[in-house]
Structure 1
Amino acid sequence: MRKPEIKKYARIVSTGISLGRTLVTNEEYEKYFGLKLPDAWRSALENRIGIRHRYVASPDQAPSDLAAEAAKMALQKAGLTIDDIDLVIVATDTPDFQTPPTVSSVHYKLGAKLKTGGFDINAACADNTIALILASQSIMLNEDVNYALVVSPYTMVRFTDPQDVTASIFSDGAGAVILGPSDEPGFITGKIIADGSYYDYWGIYIGGARPVSEEVVREKWHKLRYLKRYPPDINLRHWPGLVQETLKKAGLTADDISYYFVTQVNREMVRELMRILGQPVEKAPTIMDKYGYTGSACVFMALHDTIEQGKLRKGDYLQFVTSGVGFVMASAIFRWV
C-alpha cells in the first residue's frame, strides 16, 4: 500500500470579490427596508460594530452568480483560465438550493470541464477557512490537483426579517481565493474546533428536520431566527485559544504573524482579540465599514483589500480566524510566497 506523501506545497495565488448590486446606507435603511434604525442601535452599529452601509443582491443575483463573478476576478488576477483549475470548493451557508450543490451552478457559469472537480461545504461563517485547509491539502497530496478555487458567496440579507434591527449588519457579496502549487511552504497548518450545544441558538431552521410547508413559512422558519441569545463573549472566549493552539502547531508566536484575518462581525471584537494577543490592532484589517458583514465571504474580502493595497511582503505570515453559528471555529496559517 502506498502511503500518502506531500507532492508539493500549496500557496495563495490570487483573490477576487463581488458585491450585491444595491448599496443601502444607514440613512437609506428605513426607505429600503421599512424600519427606522433606533438611535442607540445605529450608534452601536456605526461606532462599535463598524457598519455604515450594506450591499443587497438583486433578485436575479443568485449566490452562484456572485461566486462566479468573484472567481472570474481571481482568475484574471492570477493570469489563469478556468481550464487551469482542478478543484472548486464552494463554502457557504446561503447556497443556491439545498440540492444540487451550488458548485454545480458555479462550475457551469465558469465554463468548467469534466476534469475540474468540485463540492460544497457548510460550516456557517467558518467554512471559508476550512475550505482553504481542504484545498491546500488537496494540492499537497494529489498529483492531479495543482490549482484550486475556493469561493464563498453570501446572500443572508434575503433570509433576514427586515423588522429585526440586527438584520442591518448583513450584506451580500462573495470572496474567492485561488491556491496553487509552490516549491516552498505557503499553507502551514490549520485547526478546527466545534461545540454542537449551540446548534439551536440561531439559524435558518428548514430542511430535513423541518420541511417547508405553509405553516413553516407563516411562522417564518424560512428566515434567519434567533431562538436563544448567543453569549456576547463567545468569540473572545474561544478565539485566543484557537489562535495560540494553531500558532503552536506551526512553531510560531503571535508576534510572527503579519496579518490576522478575523470574522468581520464586529470591529471592536476584532480589536479586542488583538489586545488579548498583545498585538497592534493594525495587524487585523477590518473591512465591515466598506462592505458590511458578508459572512462566509468576509475574510476573503479582507485579504483581497490587503493585497490590493500592496501591504503583503514575501515571507509574511497570515492567520485566518473565523467562527460560524452552531458553533464551528477554524484557524489557518499561511506564508505569503
Structure 2
Amino acid sequence: MTVSHTRLVGVAAHLPETTLTTAELEDRLAAHNPDLPLRRGLIHDHSGVRRRHIALPHEKPSDLAAQAARRLLEDNDVQAADLDLIIYAGVSSDAVEPATGHIVAAKIGACCPVFDIRNACNSVLNALQVADVLITGGHHRRVLICCGELPTAGTPWTVAGDEEFVRVAASYTVSDVGAALLLEAADEPGVLAHRFAAYSAGWQAAVAAVDNLTTDFLPDRPSLGPLIVDSGELVRGIGSIDYGVFHKPLADLGLTWDDFAAICVHQATLPTLWWFCDQVGIPPGKVVVTIVQHGNLVAATLLVQLARAVGSGQVKRGDLVALVGLASGASAGIVVVRW
C-alpha cells in the first residue's frame, strides 16, 4: 500500500555522563607535550567548546546508538519488533563489515532489514531524506534512524609541534554521543521538504584518512588517521555551495526563517556557526546552540538539538523545524519538518 506522508514520532539522545572540559583537555595535552607552547584558552577561543562527552572505555558506536534507540522506543511505547527498517547514520562505526546497523539491531532486539548511510556530518540528514522516500513510496511503515559517534577515540594526544597541532586541532572539539529518530507513515505531512548540494572539489579540506591503504607490502597495517582540517579551505568550500539549496525549499513552501520554532544547524565551531547564519540569513535567536556545552557532535548534532528543543518545550507538536546540515566534502542540505 502506498502512503503519502512521513511523520516524526520521536527523538532521543544519549550523552555520556563522563565529560572533559577544554581546560582539562589542555592540561592533558600539556602533560603529553611539554615542549608545545600551547596558550591556555586557545582551543575555547577558536572553537567556543567548553566541554565534551567521553564514552566509557568499553563502549562502541553501536552501544551509544543502541542506548538512544532504547530510550526512544520506550518513550514512544514502541517495541523493537515493530520496526521494519533501521538506518545507521554515524560517521563512527564498529567495523568496516558488517554494517553497524546490524550490530545495533542485535543489541536492541530488532529483526528488520538494516543498512548504513555515511556522508560525514550530513549522514543523519541524508538518512532522513532516504527514509522519507521509502515511507512515502510505500516500502516501509516505521523506520528508525540511529547514530553513534565515538570521535574522541581518535584524539591525537601527542603532536610534533605547532604546525601539526593546527592541522589536528579539530580533533580537540569533538564529543561522543548517541542519537535516534523514529519515523512512520501518516495521513498528515511531517517531512515537508528536503534539498541537498555539494562542492566535491573541496573534499581535501577535511579528511580522516585510512593510512597505509595500499597493495604494496608495508610493515604497518592500515589505520584510521586523525581528522586533518584546513579551516580556511573548508569555509571556502561551504561558501562555494549555492545557498539557494537552503532558500528554495522555504520559498516553495511559502515560509521564511521566522516561521520556525527552532532551527537546528550543524556546529563545528561557534564562530563558524554565526558566520554561516549571517551568510544565509538565519536569525541567531532561532538556533539551538549545542557546541559550547556538548562539543562537535558530528552526525548526531541535529538530532541532539532537536531532542533538546523538544524536551525544553521550545518545539511543540505542530511546530515547524528546519534541520540545516553542513559537512566536509563539502556538502550542505536542509530538511523542513513539522513536529
- TM-score using structure 2 length: 0.86
What is the aligned partner in structure 1 of residue 327 from structure 2?
Answer: 324
Aligned-partner Cα distance in 2 for 1:241–1:92: 27
Aligned-partner Cα distance in 2 for 1:213–1:256: 57
> 146-155 or 19-28, which moves further after superposition?
19-28
How many percent of aligned residue pairs carry the same amino acid? 23
Q: What's the offset of the Cα at 1:277? A: 4.2
What is the aligned partner in structure 2 of residue 39 from structure 1?
Answer: 39
Aligned-partner Cα distance in 2 for 1:246–1:160: 38
Aligned-partner Cα distance in 2 for 1:323–1:224: 20
1:291-330 equivalent positions in 2, closer than 5 A: 291-330=294-333
Question: Residue 9 of structure 1: which of 5, 8, 16 is its match?
Answer: 5
Aligned-partner Cα distance in 2 for 1:207–1:192: 30
Q: What's the offset of the Cα at 1:102? A: 0.3
Aligned-partner Cα distance in 2 for 1:227–1:313: 37
1:274 counterpart = 2:272:
no
1:186-201 equivalent positions in 2, closer than 5 A: 186-201=190-205
Q: What's the offset of the Cα at 1:92? A: 1.6
Question: Residue 226 of structure 2: which of 205, 211, 224 is its match?
Answer: 224
What is the aligned partner in structure 1 of residue 245 from structure 2?
Answer: 242
Q: What's the offset of the Cα at 1:227? A: 7.0
DSSP-derived class of the 1:264 partner:
coil
Q: What's the offset of the Cα at 1:11? A: 1.2
What is the aligned partner in structure 1 of residue 124 from structure 2?
Answer: 128
Q: What's the offset of the Cα at 1:7? A: 1.0
Aligned-partner Cα distance in 2 for 1:239–1:273: 13
- TM-score using structure 1 length: 0.86
Q: Deviations along 1:125-171, whole A, 9 cap, x unmatched?
A: 0111111111122221125x221111111111112322344321011
Q: Deviations along 1:193-213, whole A, 9 cap, x unmatched?
A: 112222333322228954795
1:1-337 equivalent positions in 2, closer than 5 A: 7-20=3-16, 22-33=18-29, 34=32, 38-39=38-39, 42-43=41-42, 45-47=43-45, 49-113=47-111, 116-142=112-138, 145-163=140-158, 164=165, 165-206=169-210, 210=214, 214-215=219-220, 222-226=224-228, 230-236=233-239, 238=241, 240-336=243-339
Aligned-partner Cα distance in 1 for 2:284–2:16: 29
Aligned-partner Cα distance in 1 for 2:28–2:275: 33
> 250-259 or 118-127, which moves further after superposition?
250-259
Amino acid at match of 1:57: A
Structure 1 residues 59, 267: closer, same or farther in 2, change over 3 A? same
Amino acid at match of 1:161: P
DSSP-derived class of the 1:224 partner:
strand
Amino acid at match of 2:5: Y
Aligned-partner Cα distance in 2 for 1:276–1:237: 12
**What residue ranges of structure 2 are gaps of 5+ in the alignment?**
159-164
Report how many aligned residue pairs link the two structures. 324
- Are 2:190 and 2:338, in contact at CA under 8 Å, matched by a contact in 1? yes
Amino acid at match of 1:259: A
Aligned-partner Cα distance in 2 for 1:37–1:259: 41
Structure 1 residues 207, 231: closer, same or farther in 2, change over 3 A? closer
Structure 1 residues 205, 48: closer, same or farther in 2, change over 3 A? closer
Amino acid at match of 1:38: L
Aligned-partner Cα distance in 1 for 2:280–2:291: 21
Structure 1 residues 306, 48: closer, same or farther in 2, change over 3 A? farther
DSSP-derived class of the 2:300 partner:
helix
Amino acid at match of 2:25: Y
Q: What's the offset of the Cα at 1:280? A: 2.9
Aligned-partner Cα distance in 2 for 1:243–1:207: 35
